């Protein structure tokens, strides 16, 4: 796969104590330039919903309402979605692969593309020289091996030559803060 064909998708769910819940997905090219951005309006659950859904309300809103509606609204095709929120790993889709991507303070691994296995479904990946590795957390039932795993690693390493691969998550979060604060 050439770098020009790489699309990276980043998803965030955000909760504001005053505005409710909202989310966004940013799709970038391999250089981190935006190709598509979608976000939801804030969702404020009613008192009745809070009582009826109980402790499951937040997960329901983040996974079944926000993430599902954003994915269905995208015009760009994506096969991988990087998220910050571990709850979103529970989103069910046969066509979309979701994993948690986060920065670390770990010592850099020997070379770009090196992987350090943490658990069967979690690894550290060195995506660029002289940077700390990123942490990749997959669904509980995923094993960090095989073709799909190698495709994800390949995309991140190729993109890592141009961008800090987890930085777009910060851009999405900052944009959602602006939406919540109505500073657009």
Extents of the domains making up the chain: 3-181
| Residue 158 Cα distances to 7, 30, 167, angstroms | 11, 8, 15
pLDDT 10s digits, 27-57: 999 899 999 999 998 899 999 999 999 999 9
pLDDT at 65 (0 to 100):
94
Q: How far is 145 from 150, CA to CA, in rounded Å? A: 7
CATH of domain 3-181: 3.30.2170.10
pLDDT at 125 (0 to 100):
96
pLDDT 10s digits, 133-149: 999 999 999 999 999 99
Long-range CB pairs of 160-163, under 8 A, 24+ apart, other chains included: 160/112, 160/127, 160/128, 160/131, 161/3, 161/112, 161/128, 162/3, 162/30, 162/31, 162/32, 163/28, 163/30, 163/31, 163/32
């Amino acid at each position: 796969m050439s770098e020009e064909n790489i699309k990276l998708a980043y998803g965030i769910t955000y909760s504001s104590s005053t505005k409710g819940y909202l989310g966004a997905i940013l799709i970038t090219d391999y250089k981190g330039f935006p190709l598509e951005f979608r976000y939801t309006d804030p969702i404020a659950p009613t008192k009745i919903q809070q009582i009826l859904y109980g402790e499951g309300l937040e997960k329901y809103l983040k996974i079944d309402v926000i993430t599902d509606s954003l994915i269905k609204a995208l015009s760009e095709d994506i096969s991988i979605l990087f998220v910050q929120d571990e709850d979103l790993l529970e989103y069910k889709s046969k066509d979309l692969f979701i994993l948690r991507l986060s920065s670390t303070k770990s010592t850099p691994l020997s070379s770009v593309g090196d992987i350090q296995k943490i658990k069967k479904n979690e690894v550290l990946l060195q995506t660029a020289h002289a940077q700390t590795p990123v942490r990749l957390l997959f669904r509980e039932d995923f094993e960090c091996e095989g073709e799909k795993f190698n495709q994800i690693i390949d995309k991140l390493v190729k993109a890592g030559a141009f961008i800090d691969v987890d930085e777009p998550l910060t851009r999405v979060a900052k944009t959602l803060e602006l939406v919540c604060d109505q500073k657009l």
